[in-house]
Structure formats: C-alpha cells, structure tokens
Structure 1
Amino acid sequence: MSSTRETLPDLAAMAAYGARIARRLRPGDVVALEGGLGAGKTTLARAILAALGHRGEVPSPTFTIIETYDAPPLRLPVVHADFYRLESPSELLEIGLDDYREGAALLAEWPDHAGGFDQEPGCLAITLEPAGESGEGGRIAIARAGQDWVGRMP
C-alpha cells in the first residue's frame, strides 16, 4: 500500500482535500475514514459529497448507519455509512451493505467496526489525527491506498 501524509490546517483545506478525493472516486471504491471521536470523519465525508455535486445537508449516519446519495445529481452514487454502532461485522448482512454498494462508492466511518476494507484493492484508508497539542493546528490526513488507487492518490 502506498501512503501520503498531509496537514489540513482548516476547513477550507479539508474541503479541498475532499474535492481531490471526489475527482478521483469511482464506483466500487471505498474511502475508509478512521480516527477518534471528533477527528473530522463526517466533515471530510461532507466535503467529498459536496464536491460530487450534493447540495443540502449531510446528516451523520451514526443512528441510521447508512445514508445513500444518488446519481444524478451526484457524479456517481455514494453510500455514506457510519459503523460505530455495529457490534459485529456479521450485522452487515442484516443491513444489506453489499446491495447498497452495487455500482456506488462507499464512504465508511469507523470501518474497523465492519471488519475493515483494507483488503479491497479499491480502498483508500484515511486516518485523521489532530495536528498540534489539542488539534488547534487542524488535522493530519494519513492516506493508505489499495492497488486500484495507485496513480490517483489525493
């Protein structure tokens, strides 16, 4: 897996980073968003969706687990999932995640609760960490790319 590290000092930088990911996103891809509570996972997912053409609110899928966004108006269909509340990856069968993913890109928050997606060649895993002592310096995005992302890293 190839990797990059980028400092995102503010929301504008996070939006620009999300836009770069959105330009490279393809159906079948997974953007696995990792980091602690308040790390910016949902903020980055919102930036990606906005860059793909979504207008309006993007609720955090913490309680619904899955939110879907259609194409059009988006450039491609997107499934935004928050797996924080899953107790076991086996719950994905009950949710029907594979059906949702057909022909869509997946933005996955808390991917480890779903068993992870690193084994998929279309996975771009992004870990968000605070920059500076208390995060006042923004965020650091550490991206690790599966084989399908080689040559299109953000």
Structure 2
Amino acid sequence: MSEVVVRRVGPEAAADVLAVVQEAFAARPPLDPPADALSETVESMARLLGKHGGLLACLDGRPVGALVLDPVGSTMYLRRFGVRPDAQGHGIARRLIDAVVDAAEGFDDATVVAREELPATVRFWERQGFREIARDSPLVEMRRPLRTCVFEAPDASAMRSLGRSLAGQLAPGDLIVLSGGLGAGKTTLTQGLGAGLHVRGDVTSPTFVIARVHPSLVGGPALVHVDAYRLGGIEELDDLDLDTDLDEAVTVVEWGEGLAEGLTESRLEIRIVRSTEAGPEDEVDPRRVEITPVGPRWHALSFRGLG
C-alpha cells in the first residue's frame, strides 16, 4: 500500500517544491496571463518559503504535492498549490489541506486564489469547503474557516452514517446549526444523529410543528429538532414549551444560519451542499457536508475521522 507523508518544509526544500509546482502547473491549460508559478526559480521559491514555510507531500518517498504558506492578517493564503499529474487520485490534495489546519495554528481561515478559466479547479476548492469571497477577473478568491471538515455523502445511507458517527462526539447542551437548500439532506443527517443518540420516535421534518423533542432511550440527552424557518427569532424557542431543558439536550436547528448563533457561544455549523455535477438521470445525488466547530466547546475535538 502506498504511503503518503506530508511534512512542513522551509527554504531547504525549494528545489523539491519547485519541481512539483512547475510540473503541476505546466499540465494545466495555457492561461493569459500565465500563472506566476511557471516563472519561479529555486531562488525565488526559497524566498517564498523563507517567510512562513510550506508543505511537501511525498508518496512512497517521492515529492508529489506542495504548497507555500503565506500569512496575511488573520488568514493563511495557500500559494503555489500543486500535485503532480501522475500522483493524482491518491488523496494528496486532501492530505495537504488537512495538514494546513495544524501548520496554520492561530489563524482564523485559509484562502486560495483560483483562476476563473479553470472551472474544474474552482469546483475542487468548493468541494473542500472554500467559498468565493471576491472576484477580480480572472482571479477568484476563495476562503474557508481553518477547522472546517468536509465530507462526501454519496447517498442517504452515507448521510445517516455520518450523523450516527457525529452523535458520538455530542454532549448535553450542544447546538447544531444546520443549513442547506430544500432536499439537501438536513433531516436525513438528523435521522442519523437520532440513531446515534438512541432517541425515541421517528425523526422527520419539523416543518409543521416548528420543533419536536425526542427523549433518550438510554439515559442520554434528548434530541430537540427545530425548524427555524418559521420562527420570528430564536428567542421564540423559549416560548415553545418544549418540556425539556436545552442545556440538557442536543439541539439541531434547521434553517438556523444567521439566527440560532445567539443561543450559545459554542456550536457546530453544518452546511450541506448538493453536487452541481450530478445530472437529472444520475442514480446518485451526492452531497458535500461541511462541519465547522465554533467556540471553546470544540477546541480539543477533531472531526476529521467521522463518516
């Protein structure tokens, strides 16, 4: 089995990083103006790496992926990101992105600059949880919180499995703010949470009742499932007479983005995005699930191993 190792490097690795970056960028379609990476030299790469270093991924000891870390304010820019064409398909890019979380400790988020002429590259970054924040043609600036974990859910079974796995990390008082379009899979994920928490009753969409309480069957926290779409404000939760204390339950708020954050300083923000690549006749309709922990409750926890 092939082994992928990602390590932090500095100017001493300039030649290896340059070789990876130039091979990766040379394989892309010609751009006007050309990518700056193609004009790098060992000396210029060493200067870039001298600022904050970079990451080098090796497959069975051979350098195959690289990026340069470039801190700007509270964000960490990922420059010269590339994977050798013959090494693609081994998860190298994903391993590099995972390693950024540790390498950029103390920063709020990670940012990349993609080219709009390369829509496949833009879609790749979107699948990794990056969202467009600015566009200055032909450049597209994309950003994601550093601790965001991204999972692929190819079908409903995988979505429920992710929910069951996530339930093992939850405790009384936890808040999950769940967002995504109609039919994205919010209730399906919540069904998995309910199964993992071993609660009573079928978890269905709370649309017509605003909120449902599912008591635990094993002495654990209840699951409170809320539809915030019809709430005038999150303070209305106090008026719903839920017959349970939110401090003793796990609360899942659908359509809660921009509304439920005031409930507590710590929460999990989960965003479900439907694939833009699946056609109407496809048998599967894959989803991307982005989990972002916010607040001190989650500082010691990692969600990378879920699923």
TM-score where L is the length of structure 1:
0.84
- One-letter code of the match for 1:26? A
Question: Is 2:179–2:254's contact at 8 Å kept on the other side of the alignment?
Answer: yes
Aligned to 1:110: 255
CA-based RMSD of the aligned residues comes to 2.6
RCO comparison, higher one (Cα < 8 Å, 6+): 1
Deviation string 1:66-95 (CA, Å, 9 cap, x unpaired) is: 110112346321111111112334433432
Q: 2:293 aligns with which of 137, 145, 149?
A: 145
* In structure 1, distance between residues paired with 2:229 and 2:292: 21
Q: 2:276 aligns with which of 129, 132, 144?
A: 132
Where does 1:51-70 land on structure 2 (aligned, <5 Å)?
A: 51-54=196-199, 56-70=201-215
Runs of 5+ unmatched residues, structure 1: none
* In structure 1, distance between residues paired with 2:287 and 2:206: 22
Where does 1:5-154 land on structure 2 (aligned, <5 Å)?
A: 5-54=150-199, 56-73=201-218, 75-95=220-240, 100-112=245-257, 115-117=259-261, 120-134=264-278, 136-146=284-294, 147-150=296-299, 151-153=301-303, 154=306
Runs of 5+ unmatched residues, structure 2: 1-144
- Number of residue equivalences: 153
More strand by share: 2
What percent identity do the matched residue pairs reach? 33
Q: Is 1:4 the counterpart of 2:149 in the alignment?
A: yes
Deviation at 1:58, TM superposition (A): 1.7
Larger radius of gyration: 2
* In structure 1, distance between residues paired with 2:262 and 2:236: 19
TM-score where L is the length of structure 2:
0.45
